[in-house]
């Protein structure tokens, strides 16, 4: 779900000031790594991962239609399709997840210093008015 929330922020980038866009770009990688760390910690605490897939399902509903072009609306069946997110539990390799978590935390510490430098550069390049 966190992945989708980043996509929803894209339209807001168009309205952002140059400094805000610079800061958003500077913090993007760190935000993604933090989300991955949270997901991995949740997997370890649960003992399994949750795989999310999107399925399209047919949905039979009632609707009004002019079936014979007479001008009279009648009840009829309509086929519509709806999409749904399906969550499926998936077994994990706990040792591999712990190694992944350690790598992500190491990467997070690297990105913190890089992000701090990038935010300082944004402040220099786009001073607030």
One domain, residues 18 and 57: no
Contact assessment for residue 50 and residue 92, using Cβ atoms and an 8 Å cutoff:
no
Per-residue pLDDT band for 75 (boundaries 50, 70, 90) equals: confident
Question: Helix, strand, or coil here: 126?
Answer: coil
What's the length of the chain? Answer: 129
| Count of domains forming the chain | 2
Vertex 102: Cα angle to 97 and 105 (nearest 5): 120
> What number is the average pLDDT over the span 44-71?
85
Residues 84 and 110 in one domain: no
Give the DSSP letter string of 86-105. EEEEEE--HHHHHHHHHHHH
pLDDT of the residue at 12 = 54
Domain span holding position 17:
1-47+93-129
More confident site: 57 or 44:
44
The pTM assigned to this predicted structure is: 0.68
Burial degree of 10 (CB within 10 A; 0-12, 13-18, 19+): exposed
Q: Are residues 4 and 42 in the same domain?
A: yes
Is 4 in the same domain as 38? yes
Both 53 and 43 in one domain: the answer is: no
pLDDT digits (tens, 9 = 90+) for 21-53: 999 999 999 999 999 999 999 999 999 999 999
Percent composition of the chain: helix, strand, coil (DSSP 3-state, to 5): 55, 30, 15
């Amino acid at each position: 779900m966190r992945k989708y929330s980043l996509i929803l922020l894209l339209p807001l980038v168009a309205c952002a000031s140059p400094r805000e866009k610079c800061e958003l770009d500077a913090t993007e990688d760190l935000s993604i790594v933090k989300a991955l760390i949270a997901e991995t910690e949740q997997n370890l605490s649960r003992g399994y991962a949750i795989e999310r897939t999107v399925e399209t399902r047919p949905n039979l509903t009632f609707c009004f239609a002019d079936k014979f072009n007479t001008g009279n609306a009648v009840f009829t069946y309509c086929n519509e399709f709806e999409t749904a997110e399906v969550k499926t539990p998936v077994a994990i390799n706990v040792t591999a997840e712990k190694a992944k978590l350690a790598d992500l935390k190491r990467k997070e510490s690297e990105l913190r210093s890089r992000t701090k430098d990038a935010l300082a550069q944004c402040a220099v390049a786009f001073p607030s008015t």
